[in-house]
Amino acid sequence: DGGITQSPKYLFRKEGQNVTLSCEQNLNHDAMYWYRQDPGQGLRLIYYSQIVNDFQKGDIAEGYSVSREKKESFPLTVTSAQKNPTAFYLCASSIWYWGSTEAFFGQGTRLTVV
């Protein structure tokens, strides 16, 4: 079945450590996105990529980094520079930029930094 997979579902890290969240899709989508969700807040865009080897900062990119070496993979690294990393992270993909097309979401990764 085609879909988008995030792993792990829950992640705990010590303060000051970098951590990488995985996102893989087998939908042959060009565009992929990372969002952050905090309680009572709307989704906020961290990074997006519309093609392999290219990505753009979203609204809250500081303290995060991404790579897009393969079409199907878009990992997100939460660095120690991110001041408040504890949040729910969602990855999405779409055929092209998803304002004009439907997007598919992963199940999310809940990151807790202690």
Of 20-28, 39-47, 61-69, 79-87, which part binds another protein (CB under 8 A)? 39-47
Strands 54-57 and 109-113: unpaired
Q: Is 78 helix (H, G, I), strand (E, B) or coil?
A: strand
- Nearest distance in Å: CB 16, another protein: 26
Element (H, E) at 55: strand 54-57
Going by C-alpha positions, the residue among 51, 50, 46 that lies closest to residue 21 is 46
How many beta carbons lie within 10 A of that of residue 28, not counting itself?
Answer: 10
Q: Confirm or reject binding of residue 112 to another protein (CB under 8 A).
A: no
- 16/42 with CB nearer another protein: 42
- Nearest distance in Å: CB 109, another protein: 9
- Nearest distance in Å: CB 41, another protein: 6
Q: Confirm or reject binding of residue 52 to another protein (CB under 8 A).
A: no
For the stretch 63-82, what's the b/e string if a residue is b when 16 or more beta carbons lie within 10 angstroms of its beta carbon?
A: ebbbebeebbebbbebeeeb
Restricting to residues 17-36, name those near another protein by CB under 8 A: 31, 33
- Nearest distance in Å: CB 92, another protein: 8
Q: Confirm or reject binding of residue 101 to another protein (CB under 8 A).
A: yes
